[in-house]
């Protein structure tokens, strides 16, 4: 069988180490083994799990240079980007989750009305969901898996993790960080392509956490629907940046250049569309062009990770040009099959793939608009809705406009970096999917609530138990009258009298 794995570095086409694929037929056994290990792991106190996983963070940091070099070689991003975005940002996630998991999973007693529910105590426990499949893409091959693995494991789950076939070595390096610190079977890697991912979704897992493309996300959702298990989907994006005429020009140009081009634009939250108000558009485009022109290939901007990605970017730019868009900078693909220069395209319509489909490359499409409301309408017209940004010196105006945007994250005068803030939820609208990564809200998927009610009542029966006598009907109607805000005083008095008469008959 043909190897599913990427085998050359996009940086210099040098060969990458061989990787063995997991047999798709063996996935069921891997999941069973994980399930076998999960219970004892979940029964450890949360502080014990946190103490072990905190040591994983130290390993991550101790291996920072080697990890950055590996990621850079495997997927092509500059080492500085790998160090900051994959290693250091992930360390923050360990700190947040190890420091908060006990409190976030603390049992919570609910308030119960003593008259209606006498002698009862109800407690919500947040328990591990069980055995999870975690299926990840290649664009952040260390940071993205860790964003889910750390809280998932801390919450007491076992995980079978499938990295992308484009970044299997980085995936293995992530799993190696945990080796010996958590029990065998609690975290297992499954290496391979779509067949292995599909086998994992159909195996006996309790939740699939998936990050990747819309097309694959749909298959994952279908497989989960067949098994009636939940899935958390974080899919594509087509982020918009809105530059208002009162923006800080320099900050907007620098920030948009970074947020569009980091990781060669292969970021779900890359700025792919810029809507700039006419009043500042000439100055903005001129300054953006200068900033982007000053970037150094390799130091600042790596190659695309795959040849297929280069083809998509070429197609989107060529289509845009054919429709009359103006390429202001860049636009010529490298001959190695991976490189693509930082490119700025001025467009006049959104009716082209460059403005509608995910490009996932180093291309900034800029469109001049007449007003903030036009920009917001265009930004919201996308089928995606991950993050968006507004650039303005009137921060509170930007903040109020934020609520008009159809996006899971809105940043004023910044973009995309909040994925690295572990306390901030990361989620989307539309085809971006409804999964939530980061923050206490991520625990909604990674755990399940168990409600336990203890009844210390010694009365022989409850009000609502059998038999359904006329006295019970009277009590019910009196209670309805008493609880309704629109019942008049006289009717309320009547209801109280009715209750006083019916109660002794009910319990006689
Ligand atoms: P992809 O969908 O091709 O692959 C993602 C993963 O799914 C890989 O591990 C792959 O092997 C696996 N897979 C393939 N077929 C499968 C199947 N039938 N069942 C189960 N798993 C299967 O995506 P990609 O190219 O690796 O990643 C790029 C995409 O990820 C982009 O669309 C990007 O926007 C998105 N992404 C989204 C976020 C987010 O937070 N929303 C973050 C990063 C990337």
Looking at CATH, the fold of the domain delimited by 239-423 is given as Aldehyde Dehydrogenase; Chain A, domain 2 (3.40.309)
- Mutate which of 144, 148, 200, 216 to test ligand 1's pocket (most atoms within 8 Å of Cβ)? 216
Q: Give residues (CB < 6 A) around ligand 1.
A: 135-139, 144, 162, 164-165, 193-194, 197-198, 201, 211-213, 216, 219-220, 234-237, 268, 358, 386, 428, 432
CA nearest 151: which of 245, 224, 235, 50? 50
Q: What are phi and psi of 45, to 5 degrees?
A: -60, 150
Give me the phi and psi of 213, to 5 degrees please: -80, 165
Active site residue 231: no
The reply to whether domains 24-235+440-450 and 239-423 share a CATH topology is no
Best CA proximity match to 49, nearest among 102, 9, 4, 85: 102
What whole-number distance in Å separates Cα of residue 66 and Cα of residue 74? 12
Annotated catalytic residue 370: no
Helix axes 194-202, 214-227, angle to 10 degrees: 30
Instruction: Considering the candidates 268, 272, 277, 357, report the single residue annotated as catalytic.
Output: 268
Which atom of ligand 1 sits closest to the CA of residue 419?
40
Q: What is the pTM of this model?
A: 0.96
Mutate to test the pocket of ligand 1, among 22, 167, 207, 212 (most ligand atoms within 8 A of CB): 212
Question: How confident is the prediction along the chain (508 residues), in pLDDT tens digits per residue?
Answer: 679 999 999 999 999 999 999 999 999 999 999 999 999 999 999 999 999 999 999 999 999 999 999 999 999 999 999 999 999 999 999 999 999 999 999 999 999 999 889 999 999 999 999 999 999 999 999 999 999 999 999 999 999 999 999 999 999 999 999 999 999 999 999 999 999 999 999 999 999 999 999 999 999 999 999 999 999 999 999 999 999 999 999 999 999 999 999 999 999 999 999 999 999 999 999 999 999 999 999 999 999 999 999 999 999 999 999 999 999 999 988 889 999 999 999 999 999 999 999 999 999 999 999 999 999 999 999 999 999 999 999 999 999 999 999 999 999 999 999 999 999 999 999 999 999 999 999 999 999 999 999 999 999 999 999 999 999 999 999 999 999 999 999 999 999 999 999 999 988 7
- The Å distance, Cα 464 to ligand 1 centre, comes to 51
In sign, the C-alpha dihedral spanning 172, 178, 180, 184 is: negative
How do the domains of the chain map onto residue ranges?
A: 24-235+440-450, 239-423, 459-507
Whole-number Å distance, alpha carbon 191 to ligand 1 midpoint, is: 14
Closest residue by Cα to atom 23, ligand 1, is 212
| Annotated active-site residue in 81, 86, 234, 277 | 234
CATH code reported for the domain at 24-235+440-450: 3.40.605.10
């Amino acid at each position: 069988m043909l190897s599913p794995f990427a085998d050359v570095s996009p940086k210099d086409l040098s060969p990458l180490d061989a990787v063995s694929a997991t047999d798709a037929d063996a996935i069921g056994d891997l999941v069973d083994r994980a399930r076998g290990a999960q219970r004892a792991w979940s029964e450890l106190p949360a502080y014990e799990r946190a103490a072990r996983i905190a040591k994983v963070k130290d390993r991550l940091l101790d291996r920072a240079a080697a990890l950055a070099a590996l990621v850079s070689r495997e997927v092509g991003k500059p080492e500085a980007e790998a160090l900051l975005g994959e290693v250091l940002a992930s360390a923050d996630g360990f700190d947040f989750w190890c420091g908060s998991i006990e409190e976030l999973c603390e049992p919570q007693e609910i308030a119960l009305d003593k008259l209606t529910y006498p002698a009862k105590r109800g407690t919500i426990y947040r328990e591990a969901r069980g055995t999870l499949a975690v299926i990840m893409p290649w664009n952040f091959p260390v940071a993205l898996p860790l964003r889910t693995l750390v809280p998932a494991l801390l919450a007491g789950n076992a995980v079978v993790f499938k990295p992308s076939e484009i970044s299997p070595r980085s995936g293995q390096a992530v799993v190696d960080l945990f080796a010996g610190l958590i029990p065998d079977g609690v975290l297992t890697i499954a290496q391979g392509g779509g067949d292995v991912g599909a086998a994992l979704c159909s195996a006996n897992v309790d939740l699939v956490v998936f990050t990747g493309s819309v097309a694959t996300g749909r298959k994952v959702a279908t497989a989960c629907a067949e098994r009636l298990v939940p899935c958390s989907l974080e899919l594509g994006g087509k982020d918009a940046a809105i530059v208002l005429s009162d923006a800080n020009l320099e900050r907007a140009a620098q920030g948009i250049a970074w947020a569009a081009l980091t990781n060669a634009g292969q970021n779900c939250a890359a700025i792919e569309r810029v809507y700039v108000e006419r009043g500042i558009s000439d100055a903005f485009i001129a300054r953006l062009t200068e900033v982007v022109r000053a970037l150094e290939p390799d130091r600042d901007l790596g190659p695309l990770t795959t040849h297929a990605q280069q083809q998509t970017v070429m197609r989107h730019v060529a289509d845009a040009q054919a429709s009359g868009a103006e390429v202001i900078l860049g636009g010529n693909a490298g001959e190695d099959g991976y490189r693509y220069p930082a490119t700025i395209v001025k467009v006049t319509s959104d009716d082209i793939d460059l403005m509608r489909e995910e490009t996932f490359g180093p291309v900034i499409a800029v469109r001049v608009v007449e007003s903030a409301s036009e920009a917001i309408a265009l930004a919201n017209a996308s089928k995606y809705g991950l993050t968006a940004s507004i650039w303005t010196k009137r921060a509170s105006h930007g903040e109020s406009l934020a609520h008009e945007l159809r996006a899971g994250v809105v940043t004023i005068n910044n973009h995309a970096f909040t994925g690295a803030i572990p306390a901030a939820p990361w989620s989307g609208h539309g085809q971006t999917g409804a999964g939530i990564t980061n923050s206490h809200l991520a625990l909604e998927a990674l755990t399940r609530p168990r409600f336990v009610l203890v009844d210390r009542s010694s009365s022989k029966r409850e009000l609502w138990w059998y038999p359904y006598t006329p006295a019970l009907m009277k009590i019910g109607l009196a209670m309805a009258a008493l609880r309704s805000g629109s019942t008049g005083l006289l009717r309320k008095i009547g209801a109280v009298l009715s209750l006083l008469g019916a109660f002794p008959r009910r319990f006689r």
